[in-house]
Amino acid sequence: MDTMSVQKYTTKFIQLMRYVPGYTEAEEQRKHYHMMDPPQALQGILVAHNFLTLKKLVNTTALVEMDHK
């Protein structure tokens, strides 16, 4: 994700989820796999939060990304 924006990363992530339904059936799994590759600057901020949904995680990540630019 270092070279991709959060929006592009999320779009690709959602496209690829359909190929591994066993790994992305539950919301917790989707959040876990989405958080595996954020830039270090974002990861340090995001890891301290417990996001209830993937959508909330993505929205917050995008806001943090915009703040870091």
Among residues 48, 61, 47, 60, the alpha carbon closest in space to that of 1 is found at 61
What Å distances lie between residue 63 and 1, 21, 23, 29, 46, CA to CA?
Answer: 15, 28, 27, 22, 11
With a cut of 50, say whether residue 63 has pLDDT above it.
yes
CA dist 49 and 46 (Å) reads: 6
Q: What is the mean pLDDT of residues 28-33?
A: 88
Query: pLDDT for 34-53, tens place per residue?
Result: 888 777 777 777 888 888 99
Ordered by start, the domain boundaries in the chain are 6-68
Q: For the chain, give the mean pLDDT.
A: 84
pLDDT given at position 3: 65
pLDDT given at position 1: 43
**pTM for this entry:** 0.74
Among residues 49, 67, 65, the alpha carbon closest in space to that of 6 is found at 65
